[in-house]
Amino acid sequence: MAALSETGLVVIGDPGRTAAAIGPCAPTYFPDSADHELTECAVPGAQVRAASVRGLMHRHKREPRQDRFSVVYDDATSTLVIVVCDGVGEFALSQEAAAFVALDTPRAYLMHRDWHAAVAEVNRRLADVVDCAPHRTRLLTTPDHGMATTLAAVAIHFGQTERLASIAWAGDTSVWFLDKGGWASLTDEKSDGDREAPDSGRVQALPAVSPRLTVAQMELTDGALFVTTDGIGNPLRDAEQVRDALAEWWATPPDVFTFARQVGFARKSHLDDRTAVGVWVS
Amino acid sequence: MTEHSEDRKPEGEGQIIMPFYLLCDVSLSMTGDMDELNKALGQLHQQLLGEPIINDLVMLSVITFNHEARTVVPLAAPEELNLPALSAGGGTDFSPPLREFHARFSTDRDRLKSEGKRVYRPCIYFLTDGEPNNTSYQATMASLITKEKNAAYPYICAFGFRDASAQTLQTLAYPDFGENNKRGRYFIAKDGASITDVLQAMVGVLARSILQSASSASAGTPLVALPEPNAVSKMGGSFV
């Protein structure tokens, strides 16, 4: 069940208590990190909507949104590049890693035209960013300068007769395909964990000595692709209510403000940052 | 308002659950402390109710024990808990509560997972005022609780006062995986601390520990945040 609550929250199922209890909180100590970030654009052959929403737990703890995204279109090659990064929350400055990787990866991809080469270069440059982190000035001095980020990226080449999507990911940031048949994850990997062990959120992240990157390709004929952080990806994977609600809302591209409110839907225990970039091909 | 017609789908699918089990000694030697213990549990409940984040992420169960054990509060969110008035009697054996925890968590976990929920590693707060009448609990720890025999092993934080000894509490604290955030710990009342003082201090630190554990969910890896060894006034703490 999905609904607008009396408080104006977009709700899917049981909203829990936190979403209604946590209103605007004190601002973060990292003023480069807006609570929410939106983008909408149209390119030949596709509509794009992007929204990143600061999670309820980060608001409660006065921590910044650690998700980042970028959307770039290369006119010369008719290539749309989308990058979504999820800063690893156990490190205090992961929003800086996520911001750097979201910023630098489109450039690297358009130069190399190969995800492995692009991510390897960005990973090396991110290691330099990490090394310099203790020396950068910030409003808040932090004793912990650690940072890391996951990555999912899509490059869609809009050719004369076909639209080919090249997908790359490291960690639990995910890519989904939506059409009339419903949702399909394009980044599912078989779990090698112990079935009896309690659930764990441990992820592969950058920087890494040897980045573990997976790459896939698919031809797009219709439908929509969504690049999401786990704040969206986890409930989308785990809950039929969420799959149904988002499939209905995102069958066609909504206006960007509606899209952002939907990305920030309230659902009990889902308190993480949320980012989704949707590409509707036409 | 937007409504979907199919509203019979499971409400809690994908919900994160952080389970906490409070194992309370209610043996005969606790008789004079039951009013204070009941009051402390009520205060803990109120503190948990006051934090929306805890209500969205945490479930709590209470198991009492003497020479046997029973679940007096089944695992549930704080807003769904009903605390009964506890009474004391009987001997002291640590094995029954550990067995009861193991059986109940297995059942709770199966039930929650069948509802599509994501269940994270459990945490036990173990409270006792004395020494067990036997050492059979050590075999129970080895066969049911520790990682070697139980992939869903719990974190255990032990609290003792009056006749409880550090030597015994140390054998309950679990695990010992090196890093401080992966080490059980135990606390023992300082000389001269009243039971009231100890229980009051425990309530505050348990509520903070549970809130910090719930807050770690924003890191993507919810972790049990046990109290620091110096965090409980009137009690001395040590890593296992």
Residue of A nearest to B19 (CA): A198
Whether omega before B227 lies within 30 degrees of 0, making that bond cis, reads no
For residue A203, list chain B residues with Cβ-Cβ distance below 8 A: 220
Q: Which long-range contacts (CB under 8 A, 24 or more apart) does A111-118 make?
A: A115/A153, A115/A155, A115/A166, A115/A168, A115/A213, A115/A215, A116/A168, A116/A213, A116/A215
Tally of CA atoms within 13 A in the half-sphere of A15 that contains its CB:
20
Side chain identity, residue B130: G
Determine whether the interchain pair A199/B118 forms a contact, defined as Cβ–Cβ distance below 8 Å. Answer: yes
Structure tokens of A50? Answer: 């992007």
User: Measured between alpha carbons, how far is A95 from B49 in angstroms, rounded to an integer?
Assistant: 32
For residue B179, list chain A residues with Cβ-Cβ distance below 8 A: none
CA B162 to chain centre: 20
Q: For residue B98, give every residue at least 6 positions away whose Cβ sits within 8 Å of its Cβ, in sequence order, or none.
A: B23, B137, B140, B141, B144, B145
Local confidence band at A201 (pLDDT 50, 70, 90 cut-offs) = low
Q: For residue B21, give every residue at least 6 positions away whose Cβ sits within 8 Å of its Cβ, in sequence order, or none.
A: B60, B61, B62, B63, B75, B101, B104, B105, B122, B123, B124, B125, B154
Counted residue by residue, chain B has a size of 240
**pLDDT (0 to 100) of residue A118:** 98
**pLDDT (0 to 100) of residue A191:** 52
Q: Which of A178-192, A227-241, B172-186 has the highest mean pLDDT?
A: A227-241
Which regions of chain B are under pLDDT 50? 1-7
DSSP H or E segment with residue A263:
helix A256-263
Q: Tell me how crowded residue A139 is: count the other CB atoms within 10 A of its CB.
A: 9
Contact A69, A83 (CB under 8 A): yes
Partner residue facing A196 (CB), from B53, B118, B152: B152
Q: Strands of A140-256 (E only): list them.
A: 149-158, 163-170, 174-179, 182-185, 214-220, 224-228
Q: What is the mean pLDDT of residues A186-205?
A: 65
**Weakest-pLDDT range from A1-10, A85-94, A112-121, B74-83:** A1-10
Local confidence band at A202 (pLDDT 50, 70, 90 cut-offs) = low
Determine whether the interchain pair A271/B55 forms a contact, defined as Cβ–Cβ distance below 8 Å. Answer: no
CA distance A219 to chain B (A): 31
**pLDDT (0 to 100) of residue A142:** 84
Local confidence band at A54 (pLDDT 50, 70, 90 cut-offs) = very high
Counted residue by residue, chain A has a size of 282
Q: What is the mean pLDDT of residues A28-40?
A: 94
For residue A57, list chain B residues with Cβ-Cβ distance below 8 A: 53, 215, 217-218
| Tens of pLDDT, residues A64-80 | 999 999 999 999 999 99
**pLDDT (0 to 100) of residue B233:** 86
Determine whether the interchain pair A58/B120 forms a contact, defined as Cβ–Cβ distance below 8 Å. Answer: no
Residue B115: exposure state from Cβ atoms within 10 A (0-12, 13-18, ≥19): middle
Domains with residue ranges and CATH for chain B: 16-239 (3.40.50.410)
Contact B155, B184 (CB under 8 A): yes
Partner residue facing A198 (CB), from B11, B15, B120: B120
Contact B98, B139 (CB under 8 A): no
Q: For residue A191, give every residue at least 6 positions away whose Cβ sits within 8 Å of its Cβ, in sequence order, or none.
A: none
Cβ of residue A24 closer than 8 Å to a chain B Cβ: no
Domains with residue ranges and CATH for chain A: 2-22+36-189+199-281 (3.60.40.10)
H-type alpha helices, B3-153? 34-49, 52-57, 95-114, 136-140
Residue of A nearest to B121 (CA): A198
Cβ of residue A25 closer than 8 Å to a chain B Cβ: no
On the question of pLDDT at A53 being above 80, the answer is: yes
Determine whether the interchain pair A57/B53 forms a contact, defined as Cβ–Cβ distance below 8 Å. Answer: yes
**pLDDT (0 to 100) of residue B177:** 86
Q: Tell me which residue of A245, A248, A218, A215 sits closest to A232, measured CA to CA.
A: A245
As a dihedral over the C-alpha atoms of residue A250, residue A255, residue A260, residue A264, rounded to 10 degrees, the angle is -50
User: Measured between alpha carbons, how far is A221 from A200 in angstroms, rounded to an integer?
Assistant: 36
**pLDDT (0 to 100) of residue B3:** 37
User: Measured between alpha carbons, how far is B231 from B229 in angstroms, rounded to an integer?
Assistant: 6
Contact A220, A166 (CB under 8 A): no
**pLDDT (0 to 100) of residue A24:** 84
Determine whether the interchain pair A17/B16 forms a contact, defined as Cβ–Cβ distance below 8 Å. Answer: no
Contact B26, B86 (CB under 8 A): yes
Q: Between residues 63 and 82 of chain A, which touch chain B (CB distance below 8 Å)?
A: 63
| Percent of chain A with pLDDT strictly greater than 70 | 92
Q: Enumerate helices (H) and strands (E) in chain A, giving the number of each.
A: 7, 13
**CA–CA–CA angle B139, B141, B147 (5° rounding):** 125
Q: What is the DSSP string of B177-205?
A: -SSGGGB-EEEEEPTT--HHHHHHHHHHH
Q: What is the mean pLDDT of residues A255-266?
A: 97
DSSP structure class, residue A11: E
Cβ of residue A238 closer than 8 Å to a chain B Cβ: yes
Residue of B nearest to A7 (CA): B1
**Weakest-pLDDT range from A45-59, A115-129, B222-236:** B222-236
- Partnered with residue B131 across adjacent β-strands are none
Residue of A nearest to B151 (CA): A197
Local confidence band at A230 (pLDDT 50, 70, 90 cut-offs) = very high
Mean model confidence pLDDT for chain B: 90
**pLDDT (0 to 100) of residue A189:** 67
